[in-house]
């Protein structure tokens, strides 16, 4: 196999670029909500992770969010000050702490998701039945692609 054989074709590169661009654009446009206006994307992401997977140890949370411990500590402190998260002693290690979402944090995450779902739902209704069917048929492939990208080393294919 030659080095040229290992590279994507121009068509594949164009498709990858187009897909990356549209996914990024959708993500940015869905990110803005009235609920959670005071949270940065990083703070929202950390909140969503602790709602979904918490309580979590700080090192595990840092790994899941790909944040350095100092940055994560600041984010968790802000979420705690806002009443959205709290630190708990780790029962298995008295020197460590766990982070969990408060009921207010869970409600805020639910509100943000509801706003995003409503915004997307309204746009989906504007599509024709055939367009919606095409989009829905692609979801399993997009979900599989997201899973395959999940564990890749940073900066590598």
> How confident is the model over 4-37, as pLDDT tens digits?
445 556 668 888 899 999 998 988 888 877 888 8
Highest mean pLDDT among 30-34, 94-98, 119-123: 119-123
**pLDDT tens by residue, 26-76:** 888 888 778 888 899 999 999 999 999 989 999 999 999 989 999 999 999
What's the pLDDT score for residue 30? 84
Instruction: Kindly give the residue spans of alpha helices, DSSP state H, lying in the chain.
Output: 3-6, 10-31, 41-53, 58-65, 69-81, 103-125, 129-150
What's the pLDDT score for residue 36? 81
Q: What is the mean pLDDT of residues 92-113?
A: 92
Q: Is the pLDDT of residue 79 over 50?
A: yes
What's the pLDDT score for residue 101? 98
More confident: 153 or 121 = 121
* Whole-angstrom distance, CA of residue 73 vs CA of residue 93: 18
- Using DSSP's 3-state secondary structure scheme, residue 2 falls into coil
Mean pLDDT taken over the chain: 88
Predicted confidence band of residue 153 (pLDDT cuts 50, 70, 90): low
What's the pLDDT score for residue 3? 47
Beta strand 56-57 with 85-90 is unpaired
Write down the residue that tokens 């055939």 correspond to: 130
Residue 46 near residue 36, CB atoms below 8 Å: no
Q: Which domains does the chain have, with CATH numbers?
A: 26-150 (1.10.10.10)
- Using DSSP's 3-state secondary structure scheme, residue 152 falls into coil
Predicted confidence band of residue 2 (pLDDT cuts 50, 70, 90): very low
Contacts with 67 (C-beta within 8 Å, 6 or more apart), sequence order: 42, 46, 61, 75
Token pair listed for 146: 């997201």
């Amino acid at each position: 196999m030659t080095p040229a054989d290992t590279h994507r074709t121009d068509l594949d590169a164009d498709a990858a670029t187009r897909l990356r661009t549209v996914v990024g654009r959708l993500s940015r446009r869905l990110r803005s909500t009235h609920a959670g206006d005071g949270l940065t994307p990083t703070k929202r992401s950390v909140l969503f992770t602790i709602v979904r997977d918490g309580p979590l140890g700080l090192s595990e949370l840092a790994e899941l969010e790909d944040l350095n411990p100092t940055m994560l500590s600041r984010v968790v402190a802000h979420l705690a000050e806002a009443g959205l998260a709290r630190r708990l002693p780790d029962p298995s290690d008295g020197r460590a702490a766990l982070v969990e979402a408060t009921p207010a944090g869970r409600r805020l995450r639910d509100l943000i998701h509801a706003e995003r779902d409503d915004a997307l739902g309204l746009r989906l209704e504007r599509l024709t039945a055939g367009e919606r069917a095409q989009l829905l048929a692609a979801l399993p492939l997009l979900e599989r692609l997201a899973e395959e990208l999940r564990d890749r080393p940073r900066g590598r294919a």
